[in-house]
Structure 1
Amino acid sequence: MAQCHGLAWEEATPVRTFRWSRGLGHFPGWWWAASTGRHVGFESWLEQDRLILLDFDPDVVGIASQPFWLHWHDGKEKRHHAPDYFVRLADGRARVVDVRAEDQVDERTAEAFAATDLACSAVGWEFEHVGAPDPALMANLRWLARYRHPRCAGRPEIAARLQEIFAVPTPSLTGAEDAGDRVAVLPALFHLMWRQELVADLVHERLGPSTLVRAAGSVGGSW
């Protein structure tokens, strides 16, 4: 760890193969991260949700899945573990993330997480075990993530008009219709919300036509 912790682990390729086969009991796939322009692997719906959250986080600038094997001896036997994600933050910090629902963490898994935490601490990395995210937040982010690609931004004048309209909190559909043809405007609106240039309360309510949206940094909202 001392010799390799300074490497660009956010560019690492997975050390394990993501397999697609009927009857495996999990759901592997690849997520295109708008924050990095690269595909990142996942092995479950829960891991995919975590990727969406990481991709939405403006502090995240790099993500790699299954980045390395960690080997250790627990006093009885040799053990190994491949953490789910390595995350690089904008300020240069490194974070290793393991994704597992709380009710799925047995004694052996907890020991692996503890060993990973100890190894990360030794080289100044953060370690985080995360479980199931807030369901309302995830429902909203799954919707906004559909519009994460830059092609959804539309014409620059649409974005400028939306910023002008939502300078004060305005219902999403009302503001979109004021900006022009909703077919052209709504993708741009959702793209700006994904980029957090326009913001709304994503935790306490499901996105809808009456959701209040405002420009980031404007006055008039507590979220």
Structure 2
Amino acid sequence: MPGGVSGPPAEGFEVAYTGRGGSQFRRSLADAWAVRFEDVAPVRAFKSYKGQRHLPGLWWSSTVGGHIGYESWLERDHVMLLDFDPSVVGISSQPFWLFWRSDAGKGVSHAPDYFARREDGTALVVDCRPADRRKPRDMAKFEATQTACTQLGWEFRLVGAPDAIMVRNVRWLAGYRHPRHRPEPVASELLAAYAEPQPLMEGASAVGDPIRVLPVLFHLLWSHELTADVSVPLHAFSLVSAGVRR
């Protein structure tokens, strides 16, 4: 492959990461399996400059109660979906550098886009790259990263553009993700109203003025205390039912 990069590597992996206090660490992959990568600082800065192709930014995560960086709108969509995933309890961006040597003996490094920790303790590593921009050199790095994740029992995902309808729905709900959109007694009244599944607007209207009630409903859908099918466009007749509190 171009540049002598190919995978899987001929030698073992090393991992470098930065603690929240700024301390830097580098160790073998085998010694890093217990590191809480969901709590580390990014190993790379999110740079902004005139004329850059992608737009970086910060996503406020309701899962971690703080900001998570992204380097493109594609990454923003995927960190949003991780934030929406009820099984995810921790997220970090640019969590570590992975180092290895190719089968040609050349040193190679790669920093995945996201690390996510699930409620059951399992881990997920995510790289975001549009399908039409996956060059052979990049694919070699993704394949090596998958090999490293497999060694640790982590799941690895290489993702492109997510489903457009789901993204639009979740992006709308994300506008109400902050806890300030869960006032009482409206939240409890909505949970009671949808104890049995019913159309979205019917349940909201039964609780009170939709202008006051709908923001709370959208927050409950974001937090999965209530649930609806986000694979199809949300509308007034979308069926809403009881969910599970995060």
Regarding TM over 0.5, the answer is yes
**1:7-37 alpha-carbon deviations (Å, 9 max, x no partner):** 1111111111101222110010111110111
The counterpart of 2:240, out of the listed 213, 216, 219, is 213
**1:105-164 alpha-carbon deviations (Å, 9 max, x no partner):** 111111000111111222222211111111111100000000011000112x21121122
Instruction: Answer whether contact 1:154 1:184 (CA < 8 A) is retained.
Output: no
Ranges in structure 2 where 5+ consecutive residues have no aligned partner: 1-28
Residue in 1 aligned with 2:60? 32
1:4 is the counterpart of 2:32: yes
CA distance in 2, matches of 1:99, 1:207: 26
The aligned length equals 215
Q: Which runs of 4+ in 1 moved over 6 A?
A: none
CA distance in 2, matches of 1:123, 1:194: 31
Higher relative contact order (CA 8 A, sep 6+): 2
Instruction: Answer whether contact 1:154 1:187 (CA < 8 A) is retained.
Output: no
1:111 is the counterpart of 2:136: no
Amino acid at match of 2:54: H
Residue in 2 aligned with 1:188? 216
| Helix, strand or coil at the partner of 2:144 | helix
1:81 is the counterpart of 2:110: yes
Q: Please report how far the alpha carbon of residue 86 of structure 1 lies from its aligned counterpart in structure 2 after TM superposition.
A: 1.0
CA distance in 1, matches of 2:90, 2:114: 10
Ranges in structure 1 where 5+ consecutive residues have no aligned partner: 218-223
CA distance in 1, matches of 2:217, 2:113: 32
| Helix, strand or coil at the partner of 2:115 | strand
Q: Please report how far the alpha carbon of residue 203 of structure 1 lies from its aligned counterpart in structure 2 after TM superposition.
A: 0.5
Written as runs of structure 1 = structure 2, the 5 A alignment for 1:163-178 is: 163-178=191-206
Q: How well do the aligned residues superpose, as a CA RMSD in angstroms?
A: 1.4
**1:72-127 alpha-carbon deviations (Å, 9 max, x no partner):** 12133221110001111111112211111222111111100011111122222221
1:144 is the counterpart of 2:173: yes
Structure 1 window deviating more from structure 2 (40-49 vs 121-130): it is: 121-130
